[in-house]
Protein backbone atom coordinates (compact mmCIF):
# COMPACT_ATOMS: atom_id res chain seq x y z
CA UNK A 1 0.00 0.00 0.00
CA UNK A 2 1.28 3.43 -0.93
CA UNK A 3 0.48 4.91 2.47
CA UNK A 4 2.52 2.27 4.28
CA UNK A 5 5.51 2.86 2.00
CA UNK A 6 5.28 6.61 2.63
CA UNK A 7 5.05 6.01 6.37
CA UNK A 8 8.13 3.76 6.36
CA UNK A 9 10.00 6.38 4.31
CA UNK A 10 9.12 9.11 6.81
CA UNK A 11 10.34 7.00 9.71
CA UNK A 12 13.54 5.89 7.96
CA UNK A 13 14.55 9.33 6.68
CA UNK A 14 13.10 11.79 9.19
CA UNK A 15 12.36 9.73 12.33
CA UNK A 16 8.73 10.84 12.28
CA UNK A 17 5.56 9.11 11.24
CA UNK A 18 1.88 10.01 10.94
CA UNK A 19 0.24 11.23 14.13
CA UNK A 20 -3.21 10.27 12.87
CA UNK A 21 -4.72 8.58 9.81
CA UNK A 22 -8.33 9.06 8.75
CA UNK A 23 -10.46 6.77 6.59
CA UNK A 24 -12.97 8.75 4.52
CA UNK A 25 -14.23 6.48 1.75
CA UNK A 26 -16.21 7.66 -1.25
CA UNK A 27 -19.91 7.87 -0.52
CA UNK A 28 -22.88 9.55 -2.13
CA UNK A 29 -23.11 13.23 -1.24
CA UNK A 30 -25.24 16.24 -1.98
CA UNK A 31 -25.72 16.50 -5.77
CA UNK A 32 -23.09 13.79 -6.27
CA UNK A 33 -23.50 10.06 -6.82
CA UNK A 34 -20.65 7.56 -6.79
CA UNK A 35 -20.54 4.76 -9.33
CA UNK A 36 -20.82 1.55 -7.24
CA UNK A 37 -17.75 0.09 -8.94
CA UNK A 38 -15.60 2.75 -7.24
CA UNK A 39 -16.98 2.17 -3.76
CA UNK A 40 -14.93 0.26 -1.19
CA UNK A 41 -16.93 -2.62 0.24
CA UNK A 42 -17.32 -3.01 4.00
CA UNK A 43 -15.11 -6.11 4.17
CA UNK A 44 -12.34 -4.40 2.17
CA UNK A 45 -12.67 -1.26 4.26
CA UNK A 46 -12.30 -3.02 7.61
CA UNK A 47 -9.36 -5.04 6.27
CA UNK A 48 -7.58 -1.81 5.28
CA UNK A 49 -7.98 -0.47 8.80
CA UNK A 50 -6.67 -3.70 10.36
CA UNK A 51 -3.62 -3.70 8.05
CA UNK A 52 -2.78 -0.09 8.85
CA UNK A 53 -3.06 -0.75 12.57
CA UNK A 54 -0.44 -3.48 12.21
CA UNK A 55 1.74 -1.24 10.05
CA UNK A 56 1.69 1.82 12.33
CA UNK A 57 0.78 0.65 15.85
CA UNK A 58 1.60 4.05 17.37
CA UNK A 59 -0.69 6.10 15.10
CA UNK A 60 -4.19 7.31 15.92
CA UNK A 61 -6.74 5.88 13.49
CA UNK A 62 -9.80 8.07 12.93
CA UNK A 63 -13.23 6.93 11.74
CA UNK A 64 -15.94 9.50 11.19
CA UNK A 65 -19.72 9.30 11.51
CA UNK A 66 -19.94 8.81 7.76
CA UNK A 67 -19.63 5.13 8.62
CA UNK A 68 -22.57 3.23 10.16
CA UNK A 69 -22.55 2.20 13.81
CA UNK A 70 -21.89 -1.49 13.13
CA UNK A 71 -18.73 -0.70 11.12
CA UNK A 72 -17.47 1.65 13.81
CA UNK A 73 -18.08 -0.97 16.49
CA UNK A 74 -16.17 -3.57 14.47
CA UNK A 75 -13.07 -1.51 13.72
CA UNK A 76 -12.72 -0.40 17.33
CA UNK A 77 -11.74 -4.01 17.94
CA UNK A 78 -9.01 -3.72 15.28
CA UNK A 79 -7.45 -0.69 16.93
CA UNK A 80 -9.34 2.28 15.53
CA UNK A 81 -8.72 4.83 18.27
CA UNK A 82 -10.80 7.91 17.41
CA UNK A 83 -14.44 8.32 16.45
CA UNK A 84 -16.67 11.37 16.31
CA UNK A 85 -20.22 11.66 17.61
CA UNK A 86 -23.08 14.11 17.46
CA UNK A 87 -21.67 15.28 14.15
CA UNK A 88 -23.36 18.09 12.25
CA UNK A 89 -22.19 18.52 8.68
CA UNK A 90 -24.91 20.79 7.33
CA UNK A 91 -23.69 24.23 6.31
CA UNK A 92 -24.12 26.48 9.33
CA UNK A 93 -25.34 23.56 11.42
CA UNK A 94 -23.68 24.78 14.61
CA UNK A 95 -25.05 28.30 14.27
CA UNK A 96 -28.50 29.77 14.80
CA UNK A 97 -30.24 32.58 12.96
CA UNK A 98 -31.20 35.93 14.45
CA UNK A 99 -34.46 34.47 15.79
CA UNK A 100 -32.54 31.83 17.71
CA UNK A 101 -33.71 29.02 15.47
CA UNK A 102 -31.48 26.42 13.88
CA UNK A 103 -30.53 27.17 10.27
CA UNK A 104 -32.06 25.01 7.56
CA UNK A 105 -30.12 21.87 6.77
CA UNK A 106 -27.85 21.84 3.75
CA UNK A 107 -26.00 18.57 4.14
CA UNK A 108 -22.67 18.18 2.36
CA UNK A 109 -22.63 14.37 2.62
CA UNK A 110 -24.48 11.57 4.34
CA UNK A 111 -24.04 10.82 8.04
CA UNK A 112 -24.65 7.13 8.71
CA UNK A 113 -24.21 7.25 12.47
CA UNK A 114 -26.32 10.11 13.78
CA UNK A 115 -26.29 9.10 17.43
CA UNK A 116 -25.64 11.79 20.02
CA UNK A 117 -22.32 12.16 21.81
CA UNK A 118 -23.95 10.83 24.97
CA UNK A 119 -25.19 7.70 23.22
CA UNK A 120 -21.76 6.93 21.74
CA UNK A 121 -19.97 7.56 25.04
CA UNK A 122 -22.46 5.30 26.81
CA UNK A 123 -21.89 2.51 24.27
CA UNK A 124 -18.11 2.81 24.52
CA UNK A 125 -18.23 2.48 28.28
CA UNK A 126 -20.68 -0.40 28.04
CA UNK A 127 -18.07 -2.22 25.95
CA UNK A 128 -15.32 -1.40 28.47
CA UNK A 129 -13.59 1.25 26.33
CA UNK A 130 -12.20 4.32 28.10
CA UNK A 131 -13.42 7.43 26.23
CA UNK A 132 -10.90 10.25 26.03
CA UNK A 133 -11.18 13.92 25.06
CA UNK A 134 -7.46 14.52 25.55
CA UNK A 135 -5.47 17.10 23.56
CA UNK A 136 -2.49 17.19 25.94
CA UNK A 137 0.22 16.10 23.47
CA UNK A 138 -0.35 19.13 21.25
CA UNK A 139 -0.46 21.46 24.21
CA UNK A 140 2.62 19.98 25.87
CA UNK A 141 4.61 19.98 22.64
CA UNK A 142 4.73 16.20 22.31
CA UNK A 143 4.75 16.31 18.53
CA UNK A 144 7.07 15.27 15.71
CA UNK A 145 10.20 13.43 16.87
CA UNK A 146 9.29 14.08 20.50
CA UNK A 147 5.98 12.29 20.01
CA UNK A 148 7.73 9.39 18.25
CA UNK A 149 10.07 8.94 21.23
CA UNK A 150 7.07 8.29 23.46
CA UNK A 151 4.65 6.61 21.09
CA UNK A 152 6.73 4.03 19.19
CA UNK A 153 7.97 2.17 22.31
CA UNK A 154 4.56 2.58 23.95
CA UNK A 155 5.60 5.03 26.69
CA UNK A 156 2.82 7.41 25.59
CA UNK A 157 0.40 5.24 27.57
CA UNK A 158 1.85 6.79 30.72
CA UNK A 159 0.16 10.00 29.64
CA UNK A 160 -2.78 8.73 27.59
CA UNK A 161 -4.55 6.69 30.26
CA UNK A 162 -4.38 9.30 33.06
CA UNK A 163 -5.43 12.04 30.64
CA UNK A 164 -8.30 9.93 29.33
CA UNK A 165 -9.46 9.39 32.91
CA UNK A 166 -9.33 13.09 33.70
CA UNK A 167 -11.13 14.20 30.55
CA UNK A 168 -13.83 11.59 31.10
CA UNK A 169 -14.24 12.89 34.66
CA UNK A 170 -14.79 16.39 33.26
CA UNK A 171 -17.36 15.05 30.81
CA UNK A 172 -19.21 13.20 33.56
CA UNK A 173 -19.33 16.26 35.80
CA UNK A 174 -20.46 18.63 33.05
CA UNK A 175 -22.62 16.64 30.63
CA UNK A 176 -23.37 13.01 31.53
CA UNK A 177 -26.81 11.70 32.38
CA UNK A 178 -27.14 10.00 35.75
CA UNK A 179 -26.97 6.42 34.44
CA UNK A 180 -24.01 7.28 32.21
CA UNK A 181 -22.26 8.96 35.13
CA UNK A 182 -22.60 5.81 37.26
CA UNK A 183 -20.99 3.71 34.52
CA UNK A 184 -18.34 6.36 34.00
CA UNK A 185 -17.17 6.53 37.61
CA UNK A 186 -17.04 2.74 37.76
CA UNK A 187 -14.92 2.66 34.61
CA UNK A 188 -12.66 5.42 35.94
CA UNK A 189 -12.04 3.55 39.20
CA UNK A 190 -11.28 0.37 37.27
CA UNK A 191 -8.73 2.15 35.06
CA UNK A 192 -7.11 3.93 38.00
CA UNK A 193 -6.54 0.58 39.67
CA UNK A 194 -5.04 -0.72 36.41
CA UNK A 195 -2.43 2.07 36.45
CA UNK A 196 -0.53 0.00 38.98
CA UNK A 197 1.84 2.68 40.28
CA UNK A 198 0.53 3.88 43.65
CA UNK A 199 1.90 7.41 43.32
CA UNK A 200 0.29 7.89 39.91
CA UNK A 201 -3.01 6.50 41.18
CA UNK A 202 -2.90 8.99 44.03
CA UNK A 203 -2.18 12.02 41.82
CA UNK A 204 -4.94 11.05 39.38
CA UNK A 205 -7.44 10.69 42.23
CA UNK A 206 -6.37 14.07 43.63
CA UNK A 207 -6.90 15.72 40.24
CA UNK A 208 -10.35 14.11 39.97
CA UNK A 209 -11.31 15.63 43.31
CA UNK A 210 -10.23 19.03 41.97
CA UNK A 211 -12.37 18.45 38.88
CA UNK A 212 -15.36 17.66 41.09
CA UNK A 213 -14.89 21.03 42.80
CA UNK A 214 -14.94 22.86 39.50
CA UNK A 215 -11.36 22.92 38.23
CA UNK A 216 -10.87 22.09 34.57
CA UNK A 217 -8.09 21.52 32.05
CA UNK A 218 -5.93 19.26 34.19
CA UNK A 219 -3.58 16.97 32.29
CA UNK A 220 -0.18 15.27 32.24
Tens-digit pLDDT profile for residues 158-188: 899 999 999 999 999 999 999 999 999 999 9
Count structural domains, the chain. Answer: 2
Do residues 2 and 111 both lie within one domain? yes
Do residues 130 and 204 both lie within one domain? yes
Do residues 108 and 207 both lie within one domain? no
Contacts 24+ apart (CB under 8 A), 122-129: 122/179, 122/180, 122/183, 123/73, 124/76, 125/180, 125/183, 125/184, 125/187, 126/183, 127/73, 127/76, 128/187, 129/76
Tens-digit pLDDT profile for residues 138-157: 888 888 777 877 777 777 78
pTM: 0.79
The range of the structural domain enclosing residue 218 comes to 118-220
Domain termination site, one of 115, 140, 172: 115
Do residues 34 and 55 both lie within one domain? yes
The pLDDT of residue 67 is: 92
Q: Rounded to 5 degrees, what are φ and ψ at 83? A: -135, 150
The pLDDT of residue 7 is: 64
Tens-digit pLDDT profile for residues 40-84: 999 999 999 999 999 888 888 999 888 999 999 999 999 999 998
The pLDDT of residue 203 is: 97
List the one residue out of 157, 53, 76, 67 whose CA is nearest residue 123: 76
**Taking the alpha carbons of 99, 104, 109, 112 in that order, is the dihedral positive or negative?**
positive
Do residues 111 and 219 both lie within one domain? no
Do residues 48 and 136 both lie within one domain? no
Q: What is the mean pLDDT of residues 184-212?
A: 96
Do residues 191 and 130 both lie within one domain? yes
The pLDDT of residue 108 is: 58
The pLDDT of residue 102 is: 47
Do residues 159 and 192 both lie within one domain? yes
Do residues 58 and 148 both lie within one domain? no
Do residues 211 and 124 both lie within one domain? yes
Do residues 22 and 104 both lie within one domain? yes
Domain termination site, one of 115, 143, 173: 115
Domain termination site, one of 115, 140, 168: 115
Tens-digit pLDDT profile for residues 113-134: 889 999 999 999 999 999 999 9
Do residues 133 and 63 both lie within one domain? no
Confidence of residue 104 (pLDDT cuts 50, 70, 90): very low
**Out of 15-19, 99-103, 165-169, which region has the weakest mean confidence (pLDDT)?**
99-103
The pLDDT of residue 103 is: 47
Amino acid sequence: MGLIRQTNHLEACYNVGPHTISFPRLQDASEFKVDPKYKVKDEEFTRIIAILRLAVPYTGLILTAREPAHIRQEVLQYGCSQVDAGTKIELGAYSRNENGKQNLKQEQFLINDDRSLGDVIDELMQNDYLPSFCTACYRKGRTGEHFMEFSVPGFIKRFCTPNAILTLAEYICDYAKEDTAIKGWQLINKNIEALGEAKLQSTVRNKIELIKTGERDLYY
